[in-house]
Structure 1
Amino acid sequence: MLLLYTTGIKIYSSIIWIFSFFNQKAALFISGRKQIFKQIAEKVNPNNENIWFHFASLGEFEQGRPVIEKLKELRPKKKIIITFFSPSGYEIRKNYALADGVFYLPIDSRKNAKRFIEIVKPELTIFTKYEFWYYYFKELDRNKIPLFVISGIFRKEQVFFKSYGGFYRNILKCVTHFFVQNPESRSLLQSIGLNNVTISGDTRFDRVFENAESPKRLPEIELFCGDSPILICGSTWPDDEKLLAELPVKYPDWKFIIAPHEVHESHIQSIENRFSVNSLRFSIWSTQLKASGSEILNLKSKILIIDNIGMLSSLYQYGKIAYIGGGFGAGIHNTLEAAAFGLAVIFGPKFNKFQEAKDLIEIGAAKSISNATELINAFEYFKDNEQSSAAAKKYVEDKKGATDVILKDIK
């Protein structure tokens, strides 16, 4: 099985290399790992008290971020070393202020894992939610370096719990302690003999709660919104946008802010072409404001398209309802950022892997839709429903606290 695992890693790397000639993300994946050990050696002092955090991508970083921030507050002398697997995480957070080094994770191999651990010499390591790399875990175990998995979530369909999953179960045995989101995850781990488990909850609740308590003010957004009720459309894809195009005509008193998951030019243009009412790009709008030198402009557009990355978590403060994209693809994106601000949420049909989405539906703070008629019905239900908004906000408030549980036990 180890041979198959190693071969699979090599095949995956080769496929990414081929895609790198015509795909930007794949190109970043490859170029970001060139001379990676030289980059790490130049920035990391192995004699420091290094703590290594690894994240698959941006979403996992936001889950781990409360732990980093609280840890630096309690132990300011600790050095934070961060690695990402995906460009979508690294490229956005490569200049994260609390990190003493942010890098792409070298591809999992015996040689790479040994070299990485020798250079960084972490006193402990924290992985968030998932990603279980055989050689890295084995090298940490061999060097007796504590390894924690935080905000972990497990499902019975995963290979760890199959009759043929022995190789992958052995990877989990390298983990010092699991901090999981729910009782189901603990039961599954215990079913394969792993009792080093604590139900801590999900650190995302801490992060989104803190964000909602002190959001970044966005003056340009405030001017666009005026006194109109706002639907925030976060992390949308074309299938989402096709349905959303029905709303501006039917609800002319509302304004719509669309923050698509992909902000490349062709996607922005497709959004502009899809909607029949006037739309405006954020970059154009903010440029107009600076050029005019005035805060009062005759703005006829009902739709504002966010053509950059990084604003979404602050946009929700201006909304009344949120539509969360991804539910017609691999799965919905982050619903909690919106719920923390007291926004009821609407999303597509693929949400079953997300416990918070199920919870929000159960308490009447979310609805899943599959077509334009269901979208309009959900919109009608939420647009004047204060109880749903209050339920969404309370749900997040009641679930926070995972960070304190994790750090107490790790300490």
Structure 2
Amino acid sequence: MYNIIIYLYLLGVAIASIFSSKVRKMWRGEREAFDVLRNNVEEDAQYVWFHAASLGEFEQGRPLIEEMRRTHPQYKILLTFFSPSGYEVRKNYEGADIVCYLPLDTPINARRFLRLVHPVMAFFIKYEFWYNYLHILKHRGVPTYSVSSIFRREQIFFRWYGKSYAKVLACFTRFFVQNEQSRDLLASIGFTNVSVTGDTRFDRVLQIQQTCKHLPLVENFVQSKHLFVAGSSWSPDEDVFVPFFNQQSDWKMVIAPHVVSEEHLQQIEQRVKGPCVRYSKATIETVAEADCLLVDCYGLLSSVYHYADVTYVGGGFGVGIHNVLEAAVWGVPVVFGPNNQRFQEAQELLTAGGGFEVESKEHFQALMREWIDAPWRVQDAGEKSAQYVKSRAGATHRVLEEI
């Protein structure tokens, strides 16, 4: 049944590639992956394979990749992606010897891929459970690890109709999970090869903090005013916070939208009443006169958070919130929408007192007025954010220590 679904999906991707440039990139990249491997795999080298679905999972696994490279330089690193949003951004990542797409998980593709690579170890980050690849890795005796994984009761593995598919979990040598609940769930279906090591994303955001970019444009934009930074925002998020800052003269606002498209950027510019400038077009002179700075490029958000007094992480009024840790590491309050229940770090940040959920435009405005009237509350929340991140660090070391 699994393979039938995969082949139907493959057909769907082929059809969708005709109409979508993003899908077309993935479709072409998967087919080219075998050429990449043929041309770049060194016959006598030992490869450690890391697979990440997309950019977020890559950032989650990155500390492990880089520590492995530092402490075990005898290994070559193969990094694969499923999504263009990961591959297109990190295809030139210098921490890996080979970067390519992972061909879709058909039996033929899986056998062909592993004949070319022969990895000595394999790491799948968070949610990756590819049935054919995993079974062949197990058959060949390759140690295979699930890293920073998190399991929930509603997942197919723990449903009566998912017992057959749950057999894929037997292919892992060990699970390095984020929490005790995940360990208990795996134990309930007979898997005890589990270690609670935490989430390697905490190590990653601390790395980013230590190597953050100096941004003169942002510094000149802020000047002596307070700064609100909204990261990975969608239109429903902007409906919540933009009206408030349209009425504030003591605050400036940076918006880094999740979708950087001309249409979305123009929508934001129409919503903002004061002068608005795009980062790619800003100069030291023009940025100082603006009330809103639009980050219309990738790779800057984690450093922009450094300048914030209050942050907002988007997605909570739709698909689910994005990375709250990139903001929290800077010791600032982190605000987000109500769709956050599936995100452990957001729930823990709420409990720690550094995260704040808002359900509407009015709720957001009330929270901001409270902070403006009592600035010490902002500082207190920020200290709790920073302490929360620091207290969860160390997962990378714990994983490598066990391996």
Per-residue CA deviation, residues 7-59 of structure 1 (Å, 9 max, x unaligned), is: 21122222223222332321211122233211211112242110000001111
- Counterpart-to-counterpart distance in 1, 2:9 and 2:220: 47
Contact 1:352 1:358 in 2 (8 A): yes
Give 1:330 shift: 1.6
Give 1:120 shift: 0.8
Which stretch has the larger CA shift, 92-101 or 267-276? 267-276
Give 1:164 shift: 1.4
Equivalent of residue 36 in structure 2, options 39, 46, 52: 39
Aligned residue for 1:322?
Answer: 311
Aligned residue for 2:334?
Answer: 345
Contact 2:222 2:288 in 1 (8 A): no
Contact 2:52 2:58 in 1 (8 A): yes
Aligned residue for 2:293?
Answer: 304
Q: Which aligned pairs between 1:59-138 and structure 2 lie closer than 5 A?
A: 59-138=56-135
- Counterpart-to-counterpart distance in 2, 1:370 and 1:50: 48
- Are positions 1:405 and 2:394 aligned together? no
- AA aligned to 2:344 is Q
- AA aligned to 2:379 is E
- Counterpart-to-counterpart distance in 1, 2:394 and 2:370: 31
The structure-2 alpha-carbon separation of the partners of 1:14 and 1:76, relative to structure 1 and needing over 3 Å to count, comes to same
Aligned residue for 1:354?
Answer: 343
Contact 2:225 2:251 in 1 (8 A): yes
Which stretch has the larger CA shift, 30-39 or 260-269? 30-39
Per-residue CA deviation, residues 129-148 of structure 1 (Å, 9 max, x unaligned), is: 11100000001001100100
What secondary structure sits across from 2:246 in the alignment? helix
Per-residue CA deviation, residues 208-233 of structure 1 (Å, 9 max, x unaligned), is: 11222331211222121222211110
Give 1:296 shift: 4.9
What is the percent sequence identity of the aligned residues? 42
Contact 2:135 2:171 in 1 (8 A): yes
Contact 1:344 1:382 in 2 (8 A): no
- Counterpart-to-counterpart distance in 2, 1:148 and 1:336: 24
What secondary structure sits across from 1:51 in the alignment? strand
Aligned residue for 2:182?
Answer: 185
The structure-2 alpha-carbon separation of the partners of 1:298 and 1:87, relative to structure 1 and needing over 3 Å to count, comes to closer
Contact 2:124 2:147 in 1 (8 A): yes
What secondary structure sits across from 2:50 in the alignment? strand
Aligned residue for 1:265?
Answer: 262
Give 1:382 shift: 4.2
Give 1:337 shift: 0.7
- Are positions 1:335 and 2:324 aligned together? yes
Aligned residue for 1:292?
Answer: none
- Are positions 1:49 and 2:34 aligned together? no
Contact 1:150 1:179 in 2 (8 A): yes
What secondary structure sits across from 1:89 in the alignment? helix
The structure-2 alpha-carbon separation of the partners of 1:391 and 1:298, relative to structure 1 and needing over 3 Å to count, comes to closer
Aligned residue for 2:355?
Answer: 366
TM-score (norm 2): 0.96
- Counterpart-to-counterpart distance in 2, 1:40 and 1:62: 23
- Counterpart-to-counterpart distance in 1, 2:94 and 2:244: 40
Unaligned 5+ runs, structure 2: none
- Counterpart-to-counterpart distance in 1, 2:370 and 2:393: 28
- Counterpart-to-counterpart distance in 2, 1:107 and 1:184: 31
Contact 1:321 1:382 in 2 (8 A): no
- Counterpart-to-counterpart distance in 2, 1:247 and 1:16: 42
- Counterpart-to-counterpart distance in 2, 1:74 and 1:168: 36
- Counterpart-to-counterpart distance in 2, 1:399 and 1:214: 19
Give 1:297 shift: 5.2
- Counterpart-to-counterpart distance in 2, 1:240 and 1:18: 33
Give 1:388 shift: 0.3
- AA aligned to 1:396 is V
- Counterpart-to-counterpart distance in 2, 1:318 and 1:14: 47
Which stretch has the larger CA shift, 344-353 or 26-35? 26-35
- Counterpart-to-counterpart distance in 1, 2:23 and 2:334: 32
Aligned residue for 1:167?
Answer: 164
Contact 1:282 1:305 in 2 (8 A): yes
- AA aligned to 2:390 is E
Aligned residue for 1:17?
Answer: 14
- Are positions 1:394 and 2:390 aligned together? no
Which stretch has the larger CA shift, 360-369 or 12-21? 12-21
The structure-2 alpha-carbon separation of the partners of 1:298 and 1:28, relative to structure 1 and needing over 3 Å to count, comes to closer
Give 1:298 shift: 7.2
Aligned residue for 2:275?
Answer: 278
- Counterpart-to-counterpart distance in 2, 1:96 and 1:330: 28
Equivalent of residue 205 in structure 2, options 197, 203, 208: 208
Equivalent of residue 223 in structure 2, options 205, 218, 226: 226
Contact 1:46 1:119 in 2 (8 A): no
Contact 1:382 1:388 in 2 (8 A): no
- Counterpart-to-counterpart distance in 2, 1:112 and 1:253: 58
Aligned residue for 1:194?
Answer: 191
- Counterpart-to-counterpart distance in 1, 2:55 and 2:213: 19
- AA aligned to 1:402 is A
The structure-2 alpha-carbon separation of the partners of 1:44 and 1:298, relative to structure 1 and needing over 3 Å to count, comes to closer
